[in-house]
Amino acid sequence: MKVLHISSSPRGERSASLKLAQRFMDTLTERDSTTQVDHLDVWKADLLPFDGPALDAKYADLAGVEMTPEQKAVWQQIAELGKRFHEADVIVFSVPMWNFGIPYRLKHLIDSVSQRGVLFDFDEQGMKGLLPGKQVVVIATRGVTLGEDYPTEAFDHQVAFLKTWSRMVGIRDVRIVESEATLDGPEIAEAHFKAALEKAAQVAKQL
């Protein structure tokens, strides 16, 4: 099994989402020692700005116009990034909630790599994802608990966004591990986190 782990917390060893991802990875490798993990840390990756040549390359492709050498070079970088998604059997996002959404560096990655001919295609009949048959695991942490004053359907732009992205690129199998209330009192936060650790291991065993 090949796993692409996309981590989006800059907190290092203090990160709850990274700890949950580690439990998930440990469980996978215990089941199958041949499991390969490609770790893409969005805070360390050299993500190209999606403007100038990259944006011009996108619209040249959409218009069927030949790209300039500079545009081709940038588009090749995007294709190489997309290759890491294509090579994975499972794509794991470990993602903290920021302002009810995802960290901007993760959004930057997704906006850069999610291009026609890279992760999806479309024609007059509609959109077609290019990653069918793969699985996505979203390991999500939140400082608050959604519900009541923060109804999930209105405030969740974290897991909901990644589910939408998964559908766009052709992935229907999405598993969720959530740990909420990380900013609440120690007992509440620990209870949520312990349950999430067990869920992370359970999801890994089901793949």
pLDDT digits (tens, 9 = 90+) for 153-191: 999 999 999 999 999 999 999 999 999 999 888 999 999
CA distance 77 to 57: 12
Give the strand pairing for 120-123 and 126-129.
antiparallel
The pTM for the full model equals 0.96
Q: Is residue 125 over pLDDT 90? A: no
CA distance 73 to 60: 13
Which domain CATH number covers 67?
3.40.50.360
Sign of the CA dihedral with 147 first, then 153, 155, and 156 last: positive
- 169 contacts: CB under 8 Å, gap ≥ 6: 85, 114, 119, 120, 129, 130, 131
Tally the domains of the chain.
1
Domain around 199: 2-206
> 3-class DSSP state for residue 25?
helix
